[in-house]
Amino acid sequence: MRVFLTGATGFIGSYLVPELISAGHHVVGLSRSDAGAEALTGAGAEVFRGDVNDLGRLRSAAETADAVIHAAFNHDFSNLKQHSEADGKVIKALGDVLAGSDRPLVVTSGTGLARSRTGSPAVETDDHVTSAEFPRAASEEAADALIASGGNVMVIRLPQVHDTRRFGRITQHIKLAQQQGRVVYVGEGRNRLPAVHVSDAVHLYRLAIEKGQAGARYHAVGEEGVALCDIAEVIGAGMKVPVESITPQEASDYFGPLANLVTIDLAASSALTRQQLGWDPHGPDLLTDLRNLDYTLDRSTS
């Protein structure tokens, strides 16, 4: 298949490009920079130059594709609402080009947006929160609209995606620990974050374009939930700093804007995804990758 990939130069894209090429697909990767274009060429992809928000150019790239994977996102969280609304427009533009065909569009969301109905791990069939509650849900809402009009659109919800350098939100915990000289968790720290090794996550994207079902939500979850206290212990050992429990009242002093997230249990299941696509994640687990992180690198100012 000729696959148009946005976000091809990002963390996930850098693993997804070789995953698709080694399976025999032709990848056309979006890049807005010379450095990105060079990396894509080196990885064996065709480069399509442009900004993801230039919807005219985006449409022209999608027109010639057999499948589209959308993994670009601007992670400047000070403007999350604006970037999320822009992402909704990108998804609509891509979906409109593919409408009326069976060419798949796979869009990216997060497991944290699923609203668990029972208090047990979030499942693929759970509704998502609304963009009024959390702006990032604009991407799920744009996908909903395309699915309702018959598009071959799927959503992949990602948990904390990791290798030994990148850890999703946990990277912020490491940065805070470097700034403050200690690692903390709230209360007993038994609340959990789901996780997946990046190599497993990108394999799921490939399965989705090859045999996914229109309208499906897939959870790229390798581990349903890793307790925050266990994550803190590994970071503390790696950095050789104290690990402490704090009260919910103390959380905002330490965590700042992250404080309202660090007490929530975000466990998520991928049982349906595994069953429907035969996906079988087996990459290193989160704590193993965290133990292999280079803690001498200073992340406190990044």
Ligand X SMILES: NC(=O)c1ccc[n+]([C@@H]2O[C@H](COP(=O)([O-])OP(=O)(O)OC[C@H]3O[C@@H](n4cnc5c(N)ncnc54)[C@H](OP(=O)(O)O)[C@@H]3O)[C@@H](O)[C@H]2O)c1
Which residues lie near ligand X (CB under 6 A)?
A: 7, 9-13, 30, 32-33, 36, 51-53, 71-75, 108, 110, 158, 160-161, 168
| DSSP state letters, 90-148 | HHHHHHHHHTTS---EEEEEEGGGB--SSSSPB-TTSPBPPTTT-GGGHHHHHHHHHHH
- Half-sphere exposure (Cβ direction) of 203: Cα atoms closer than 13 Å: 16
DSSP assigned state of 192 = E
Q: What is the dihedral of CA 252, 258, 259, 261, to 10 degrees?
A: 180
Q: Considering the complex, state which of residue 160 and residue 270 has its C-beta at the smaller distance from ligand X.
A: 160
**Nearest distance from residue 173's CB to ligand X, in Å?**
13
| DSSP state letters, 28-59 | EEEESSHHHHHHHHHTTPEEEE--TT-HHHHH
**Nearest distance from residue 187's CB to ligand X, in Å?**
24
**Nearest distance from residue 139's CB to ligand X, in Å?**
7
**Nearest distance from residue 167's CB to ligand X, in Å?**
7
Pick from 86, 106, 93, 36: nearest CA to 60: 93
Q: Considering the complex, state which of residue 248 and residue 257 has its C-beta at the smaller distance from ligand X.
A: 257
**Nearest distance from residue 118's CB to ligand X, in Å?**
23
Q: Considering the complex, state which of residue 137 and residue 158 has its C-beta at the smaller distance from ligand X.
A: 158
Q: Considering the complex, state which of residue 163 and residue 233 has its C-beta at the smaller distance from ligand X.
A: 163
Q: How far apart are CA 52 and CA 33, in angstroms?
A: 12
**Nearest distance from residue 103's CB to ligand X, in Å?**
20
Q: What is the dihedral of CA 129, 250, 159, 191, to 10 degrees?
A: -90
Residue nearest to ligand X (CB): 10
Q: Considering the complex, state which of residue 7 and residue 225 has its C-beta at the smaller distance from ligand X.
A: 7
Q: Considering the complex, state which of residue 13 and residue 212 has its C-beta at the smaller distance from ligand X.
A: 13
